[in-house]
Amino acid sequence: MTSYQLHPIGHVESPLKDRSAAPRQPDEGAPEAWIVLDERYLPALDGLRPGTDVLLLTWLHGADRTTLTVHPRGDTTRPPAGVFTTRAPDRPNPIGLHTVHLLTIDGPRLHVRHLEAVDGTPVLDLKPLLTPAR
């Protein structure tokens, strides 16, 4: 099957330095962080407003792409579940989805609250929040 090439648009700057220290969910102590975009993408930010929530897509570059089942939350007393039923980073295409609150925008640097991605994580895209399913 054809494969496709992702070109990161920037990266995450965060005090979280490695995956073992990263919280599993953003309400479990995720810190403030910066999304630092390449300057060539500045026009694509036009209209983005501080104080709003946006979806951030990242590439979880430390992931094991061969993993198909995981013990939920790493708890080996629970039966393994298919990775497509979990948010586990280890999966065939390790795209991270994060809802982040934009604190400030300084050119191509976006200061955000509650981001569970580690320092250096490649950034792929920003989108408005999803609307609920019907």
Please report, as ranges, the residues that interact with its own copies according to CB under 8 A: 1-9, 25-27, 38, 41, 43-48, 53-55, 57, 59, 61, 65, 68-69, 80-87, 91-93, 95, 97, 99-101, 114, 122, 124-134
Output the smallest distance, CB 77 to its own copies, in A.
Answer: 16
Q: For residues 20 and 112, what is the distance between their CA atoms, to the nearest angstrom?
A: 21
Of 16 and 91, which CB lies nearer to its own copies in the complex structure?
Answer: 91
Of 5 and 20, which CB lies nearer to its own copies in the complex structure?
Answer: 5
Q: For residues 110 and 37, what is the distance between their CA atoms, to the nearest angstrom?
A: 8
Q: For residues 57 and 13, what is the distance between their CA atoms, to the nearest angstrom?
A: 15
Output the smallest distance, CB 90 to its own copies, in A.
Answer: 11
Q: Which amino acid is at 71?
A: H
Interstrand relation of 69-70 and 10-13 (parallel, antiparallel or unpaired)? unpaired
Q: For residues 101 and 116, what is the distance between their CA atoms, to the nearest angstrom?
A: 12
Output the smallest distance, CB 28 to its own copies, in A.
Answer: 11
Task: Assign 72 to helix, strand or coil.
Answer: helix
Of 16 and 94, which CB lies nearer to its own copies in the complex structure?
Answer: 94
Output the smallest distance, CB 15 to its own copies, in A.
Answer: 19
Rg (CA), the chain: 16
Of 74 and 133, which CB lies nearer to its own copies in the complex structure?
Answer: 133
